[in-house]
Amino acid sequence: MKRVICIECPNGCALEINEETLEVTGNRCKRGEIFIKSELTNPKRTIQTTVKTIFKEVPVVPVRVSSLIPKDKIFDVMKEIKKVVIDKKLKIGDVVIKDVLDLGVDVIITSNKLNEF
């Protein structure tokens, strides 16, 4: 038996998997089953952080990865994000880094605040 807390929604179900039969218990929905299986083979996470801008009114803007990345790549991706300085008035969804570290995901802006001043 392996136990994992599901992070897919605020319910945070305490999941259990029988490693022989792969039977999952404790999940209140289907997503829990998918989550525990990926968590035990190839754990993935998202990251949200900020990037610097050249605008003094809005010194940083929030960004996130467009989709899940392997958990062990979090700090490598952070390093790439920290290199970026934004000098254009980008908006929500605009890509800051395309296909970051060849992981197949982009780093995108999550606010329109650069267009508000």
Partner 1 sequence: MNNHYDLIVIGSGPAGISSAISAKENGSNCLLIEREASLGGILKQCIHDGFGLITFNEKLSGPEYIERYIEKFKKLNIDYLTLAFVIDIKKTPENFILEVVTRDGIKEFYSDSLILACGCRERTAKGVFIHGTRPYGVLTAGSAQALVNLNGVVVGKNVCILGSGDIGLIMARRMVLEGANVIGVYEIKDTPSGLSRNIHQCLNDYNIPLHLSTTVKRVFGYERLEAIEIVKVDKNFKPIDGTEEIIECDTLLLSVGLIPENELGEKIGIEIDSRTKGAKCDNNFETVIDNVYTCGNSTHVNDLVDYVSLSGKIAGKMTTIKKDSPRLLKDIIIKGNTMYLVPQMLNINSDLSNVEMFFRSNCDLKEPIITISVDGNIIFKKKYMVLRPPEMEKISVNLSQVNKDSTIEFNIEGIKL
* 30-49 binders of ligand SF4 (CB under 6 A): 31-32, 35
Least distance between ligand SF4 and beta carbon 40 (Å): 15
Binding residue for ligand SF4, selected from 12, 43, 70, 93, defined by CB under 6 A: 12
Judge contact between 107 and 65, C-beta under 8 A: yes
> Is residue 9 part of the contact set for ligand SF4 (CB under 6 A)?
yes
> Is residue 16 part of the contact set for ligand SF4 (CB under 6 A)?
no
